[in-house]
Amino acid sequence: MDTEAATLLFAFLAVSAELAVLAAVVLAVAGRWSPTVAAWRRELATWVGPDALRLACVVAAVCTAGSLYLSEVANFRPCFLCWVQRGFMYPLVLLLAIAAWRRAYRTGIVLAGVAVLGGTVSVYHILVERFPTLESSACDPTNPCSLIWVERFGYLTIPTMALSGFALIAVLALAARP
């Protein structure tokens, strides 16, 4: 699989994550007003809840593997903000795996918090890409964070994909229940 195919795969996964998060948000909001939607939400929670931590762990692992592919195989050098996002994503793989193994569903809210923090950094990185002057008025010759290495479907850059992953992890962690 070459870089072109790999980034396209990551883009597909990111779009899927975004759709899943959107569906969760719609169910959560609409369920406050519609008993039917609330019933759907509860039914979905019973199906997904027991596996939610395992699913979140898989998502974190895929994001981690993707970031390592981009830096080690595709030679896209991670900038400072990339490393900060990695600092949130990589530990989530281990934490979610342990939480899933121990059936520690109540840790979901803490793990969701970690994902939200990582997603916040992703949001800032996206802003730096779109508004390079947030970082500086000039490009660091080594590796500026304003560099857009990949852009799929007109908007999916690497931090955007990371944000999609963090968002899905947060939703799944919050949905975790026995």
- Report the alpha-carbon distance of residue 73 to residue 67 in Å, rounded: 10
- Report the alpha-carbon distance of residue 156 to residue 102 in Å, rounded: 35
According to the 3-state scheme, what is the secondary structure of 89-121? HHHHHHHHHHHHHCCCHHHHHHHHHHHHHHHHH
Letters for 144-173 (x = contact with another protein by CB under 8 A, - = none) are: x-xxxx-x----------------------
State yes or no: residue 141 binds another protein (CB under 8 A).
yes
Structure tokens at 47: 């199906």
23, 43, 113, 134: which one contacts another protein (CB under 8 A)? 43
19, 68, 136, 153: which one contacts another protein (CB under 8 A)? 136
Q: How many residues does the chain have?
A: 178
State yes or no: residue 102 binds another protein (CB under 8 A).
yes
Binding span for another protein by CB under 8 A among 52-60, 78-86, 107-115, 158-166? 52-60
State yes or no: residue 50 binds another protein (CB under 8 A).
yes
Nearest Cα to Cα of residue 124 among 114, 135, 113, 108 = 135
- Report the alpha-carbon distance of residue 88 to residue 75 in Å, rounded: 21
27, 38, 54, 127: which one contacts another protein (CB under 8 A)? 54
Residues forming contacts to another protein in the complex (CB under 8 A) are: 1-2, 4-6, 8-9, 12-13, 16, 42-43, 46-48, 50-51, 54-55, 58, 62, 74-76, 102-103, 129, 132-133, 136-141, 144, 146-149, 151, 178
